Amino acid sequence: MKITLQKMKVEKHPNSKETIFKTEEKVYTIPYVPSSAFLSYLEIEEEIENNKNLKPAEIKKYVGLIVKTYGDQFTEKEFFDGIPGYRLMPTISEFVHSLNTNPYTSPSDFDILDGEENAEKKAD
């Protein structure tokens, strides 16, 4: 599993007063998501009042879980600063989805299951 964080660097143009913004990406990886992360996720879910309208404190709990799951390779501040605003919720959703997904299952496994289910329906 991996997550990519960006770091913004601000530089001055050498020949003018223009400000130049550059980004560097750093990819963090872990070999698998430990079961303890899944249990922590379930505890967070119990505390959340409305999944469709998360409060800032609830978002911070998810981010804390992500940081912990990645073995503190980055801080919560680095996470928030390294994810563009429009990617915050999709990144959290992707992480939550990964808690319930077997990374060793190939899409073809689902095609076979789907085919068997459809075959059963056609037989009826």
pLDDT tens, position by position, 86-101: 999 999 999 999 998 8
**79 pLDDT above the threshold of 70:** yes
DSSP class of 85: G
* In a domain? residue 122: no
Q: Coil, strand or helix: which one is 2?
A: strand
Q: What angle do CA 56, 57, 62 make, to 5 degrees?
A: 95
Query: Position of tokens 């698998």?
Result: 32
* In a domain? residue 116: no
* In a domain? residue 84: yes
Q: Give the pLDDT mean for 73-96.
A: 97
**63 pLDDT above the threshold of 60:** yes
Two tokens, residue 29: 């990886």
Q: Is 72 left (phi over 0), alpha (psi -120 to 50) or beta?
A: left
**What domain range includes position 81?**
2-103
Q: Are 76 and 9 within 8 A, CB to CB? A: no
Q: Are 25 and 11 within 8 A, CB to CB? A: no
Global pTM? 0.78
Residue 16: per-residue pLDDT:
85
* In a domain? residue 117: no
pLDDT tens, position by position, 3-59: 999 999 998 888 888 999 999 999 999 998 999 999 999 999 999 988 889 999 999
Name the nearest CA neighbour of 76 among 4, 68, 38: 68
Total count of domains within the chain: 1
